[in-house]
Every structure is written in C-alpha cells, then in structure tokens.
Amino acid sequence: MREEHDWPGEESESADHASYPTAFSAYPQRYPADDLAGELLEAEPAPVRSAKARRFRKGIGTAFLLAGAAVVVFVVLYAADLMFSIGDVPRGVTVAGVDVGGMSRVAAEATLKDELGPRLSRPVAVKAGDVTTELSPREAGLGLDWQRTVEQAGSQPLNPLTRIASFFTTREVGVVSTSDDHALRAEVTRIAGERVNREVVEGDIRFRGVSGVPNAVEPYAVEPRRGQRLNDVDAAMTAVKDVWLESEFVEWTVDVTPPKVNSGEVHKVLDGTVRPLVSAPVTVRGDGSDAVLTPRTISRALRFAPEEGRLRMSVGRDPLRDAVRPGLMSTEKSPKDARIEFAGASPNIVPSEDGRNINWERTFAPLLDIATKPADRELPVAYDVRKPALSTDAAEDLGIKEVIGEFSTSGVSGDAAKNVAAMARTLNGALVRQGETFSLDARTGPRTASQGYVRAPVHDDGTGRQVIGGGVSQLTSTLYNAAYLAGLKDAGHTAHRHYSDRFPPARDAVSLRDDGSGVDLAFTNDLAKGVAIQAQVSGSTVTVRIWGTAQYRVESDTGERTDYRPAPLTRDEGPRCRPSAGSPGFTVSDTRTLYDRSGREVRSETSTVTYEPRPAVLCVPGRPGSGDLTAGSRNRVR
C-alpha cells in the first residue's frame, strides 16, 4: 500500500512549485540508470495529487466491496431458490389459464383436475362462418392427459435471468388432449351436416294473405343469405384438439358461397315495384265485357330471379290469362267463311266475316306500368283479327253461276226419307274449291239422333236391318251421279251389292254396308273453277245439283250385261213375310267421256260393276200376308 506524505507547504495549494522536492529527491533509489536519471532530473517536477482524487479512489473501492458482497448474497439466494424448487413446476406457468407455477407436480396435477375437470363435460363453443354452435366433448371422445400436461411445463430453469423474470411474468403451456378420432370425426361431420352446412339463399319476394280481406296479399322480402360448407373435416378436428379446453371458442374454416343479390336490392324491388303492383285490383276492359285481376292473381303471376346483381321480376301470362279468360271469352269471335245459300232459283253468296282473338301478350305488356299507378288501373284488351278461310271475294271468284251437273231419284219414303232429308240439309251449300277433294263423311260427320237421324232399314230399297241413318244411300247415289255429270273426278266410292233400277247400271254408290258400317264417297274438283252442292228432298224425290262454271260436256255409254245369274228362290213363313221377285245378278260396264267446249274429247273413263243376285221370296200359301209374287216389289223381308 502506498504511503502518503505530508509535503511542506501542503496547506497552501498556491505555493511555488520550486519549493517542492522532485520525485527523484524523494525516491532516488527507484532509478538506478544514469541516463534515465539525467532525463528525469531535467524534467518538470510532478504536480501534487489533490484531495478530490483521493476521495474518488476511495469511493470506487467501496463500490467494489459492496458489489462483491451483493454477488455473494445473490449466489447464495439463487442456490437456495434452486435447491428448494427442484422438481416443482416452474414459477409463472399457467395451464388453460390455471396458475400452477411453483407447485409440486402432484399438487399441480390435483389443482388442474379441480379447476379443469368440470370443463371436460362443458360444451365447446364452435364458430363456423356466421354460425355459432356447440360440440360435446364427451360425444366427440375428447379428454385430457393430466400427467403429460404437467410434464410439458418443463423443469426448473437454470438461467438466473429466467428465474428472476418468472416472479413478474406468466407462461401458458396449454394442455395435452386425448381424443378418439373416430368419434371426433363423426361428431364434427354430424354438426357440419346439421348446423353448419347450408345452401345459399337467394333474395326473393313472396306473398301472404291479409286476414279478413279477400284476394288481398302482403308482399315480404326473403333476405339473401350466403351458403357455406365445411369441406376440410381434418382441419376442423385439429382445431378442436388444439384449443377446445383453452379458448373461448373453436373456429372452423368454411367455404362460402355469396348470394347473387344483396338485401338492399331486394327491398328496392319490394318497395318500389311490388307493393304498388299488388295494392289494388286491375280492371281488364274488353269490347263488350270486363274482367278483374285481383292482387292475389297478380302475385301468382310474378316471378323473381337474381341476374347480374339485380333482382329481375317477370310476369307469367298464363295465371293472368286463366283468371280473366272466362269473363272475356264472349268478346272473341270466330271468323265466318263466305258461303252459298240456295234460297231462290240461283245460289247467293253470304259474305264472310272476320273473327278476332285476344292477343294476351300485347294485352298484358303494359301491366307493370298500369298496375303501379295509384289510380286508373285499367288494362285494355288487345285483339288480333282472324281472317276466314274463304273470303267474300274468294267465293265470288269460284265461278258459282250455273248448274253443271244434276240428278234426281225417287221412291224414298218413311223413316228413310227423314234420314235422307237430314243428310241433305248438311250437304246443301257445300263448297269445293279447285284442287280440293270432297268427302261426304267429313261433311256430314257422325250420323246420330242429335243430328236428326232415325232408325230405318239399312238399304235404300227398304230392306235390311234397322240402323240409325238407314236408307241414306239413295242420296249418296244421287250425289254420285250429279258429280259424274258435272265432270268431277271420282276419288272413291262403293257400288250397291244388289242392282236397283233407281240408278243407271254401274252408276250408284252406298253410304252403308249390310251390317250398318259406313262407306265414304269422295270426288276431286279438277275443274278450273270451284263448285257448290245443292241437295233437296221433295216428297219421295231426291235432287242434287252441282253449280259452277261449265267446262265439259259429259256422255255416258252403258255396256251390255254379262255373267247373268238369275235370282234364287227362298220360302218364308209367318205373318210378316213379304213376297219379293228378287233381282238377277250380272256384270256391267259404264264409260264416261268428257268433251271440252270445242267438242274435243278430253278423256274417257270406264268402270265395271258386278251385282249379286237378290233372292226372290215366296210366302207359304194360306199364311197371313201371302200373295202373288210381283216383279219390282220393294217390301221388306224379315
């Protein structure tokens, strides 16, 4: 240790430096070298140390003494703390929010069981998109490994800084869960299917009735809602196992499908269009009759669909049409063709009439504009004109001006005459334009009692079974001959089975077979102009005239009868027997030749018919009604 010396003049710090001894004068023995001593002797004398420097050095020494003492104390305390906490849970450790720091592992495990045990059966909150639900740990097979949970807190730290910091901080180490993955997957899948997954709900507008107000409706909005789906079940299971006991909720990631329109757009359409539209009825005014569209009917016709971010509204016409059609049907009219009437000696043309149909598309087109007004809610009916198939001008161009073919037959009587008259009424006035084919069955339709037909013998000579419309073949044969003489082209007919002298041989046609079934007669108008048919029944005479413009002169040539077969004889008994001479069977041909107005032959046609013999009937003598056989008898045979 250095000695301190009191130098002369120390009390006066302003003394002259020359009065102080030099360093070498005080310690000559420390510098044995002469050369060095010489240099030092020539140097300036050293300044005298101050009191302040001495005090500074003293303070530093004290500080080092105290620091060393503190280190000793810290080492002692650190060693003691480490020794007494060996095996305990480190300070500041929390498990799922439960402070177990500084506890023994046994105590920590017991504390965790007390604090966390009730949570094991508590439902776990789950957030999936905008759905909040719960998951049952028990159903999901979730549990907690208490020992491993405590073990994961770790051992006592050796770092002194860490040990000091543990007095002021906490460290969450979490729990170690156990799980039955099969049960957890099943529970996650069930919850997703029942509570999380849903289809997107598009914005819509619907209607409900108003209590006490018939046919009134109240529109309301169906709010759009996004769709969502949990597609990654494995990720959801991991999320549950990671934080189910530590966090307030478990969050699942879902795939989201947004709606195509937002709520604002739905309410815009609802308030701006739909409410005014169904606020009151709309009157549909037709020509001569009206109908009403009620708010309920209008609501049933409205359709809504999202389209490019907007809620598009459309109006279905079918519900509207079905609602008002009964009240407006009377305003529609069917067109009427021009027709021929035979009121006098010559035919008259009855003019055609246009018809009209409601055009529903044009009628309902302004509905949205009209129905959104608070007043004058009236919708005018729009019509389309329907032209007749035969206009007046077209009928006049047919050239119906003269008789070009006429034929009459006689002998019709009784119920058969009624049937012939009924058919004549339907046939009379028929028009056949050039190129058209006329069908008798198509013109007359079914022969029923409602059309004026009665039961009569099937054959026009009064024989055969009783049928509805029996005997009309007489009119059929008369029509055939009139068309034959007019030069019209045969398009199909069937001759009688037995010959009757009411018609020229090979120039007859039937409408009924023996069993009462129908046979059609048809001809084609191959003339340059149209033709009209006039049919009349006067007494027992039937007359058919074909009117048009004469184009041909017609000649008929009947050939010789060949293959002659006499009528067989049959005998009958009973009060209803009627004798008949019968008729022979034979084959005969007819040739029709057509000449134009200059006399030049246009064409020649030949048809051949084979008639079967009709049996002669002989009544047994002495029986009521018996008598002589008379040729040409028309009595019915039973």
pLDDT computed for residue 619 by the predictor: 87
Structure tokens at 444: 């007359």
209-234 per-position pLDDT tens digit: 999 999 999 999 999 999 999 999 99
CA distance 420 to 544: 12
Question: Do 104 and 89 touch, CB atoms closer than 8 A?
Answer: yes
**Partners of 380 in the beta sheet?**
285
Q: What are the residues whose beta carbons fall under 8 Å from the beta carbon of 394, sequence distance 6 or more?
A: 338
Q: What are the residues whose beta carbons fall under 8 Å from the beta carbon of 6, sequence distance 6 or more?
A: none
Calculate helix-pair angle for 233-243, 181-191, nearest 10 degrees: 110
Q: Is 304 exposed, middle or buried (0-12, 13-18, 19+ CB in 10 A)?
A: buried
pLDDT computed for residue 157 by the predictor: 63
CA distance 158 to 576: 142
Structure tokens at 570: 């049959």
pLDDT computed for residue 579 by the predictor: 83
CA distance 335 to 352: 8
CA distance 555 to 569: 38
Question: Do 425 and 501 touch, CB atoms closer than 8 A?
Answer: no
What letter does residue 320 receive in the DSSP assignment?
H
CA distance 520 to 442: 9
pTM of the shown model: 0.57
pLDDT computed for residue 59 by the predictor: 80
Question: Do 331 and 286 touch, CB atoms closer than 8 A?
Answer: yes
Dihedral through CA 95, CA 101, CA 107, CA 112, nearest 10?
Answer: -10
pLDDT computed for residue 418 by the predictor: 95
Question: Do 384 and 334 touch, CB atoms closer than 8 A?
Answer: no
Question: Do 228 and 192 touch, CB atoms closer than 8 A?
Answer: no
Determine the straight-line distance between the first and last CA of the chain, rounded to whole angstroms.
177
Q: What are the residues whose beta carbons fall under 8 Å from the beta carbon of 564, sequence distance 6 or more?
A: 584, 585, 586
CB atoms within 10 A of CB 72: 10
pLDDT computed for residue 28 by the predictor: 46
Give Rg (Cα) of the chain: 63
pLDDT computed for residue 99 by the predictor: 82
Domains of the chain: 93-222 (no CATH), 264-393 (3.10.20), 398-619 (no CATH)
Residues of the chain with pLDDT under 70: 1-49, 73-74, 76-88, 153-159, 161-168, 622-638
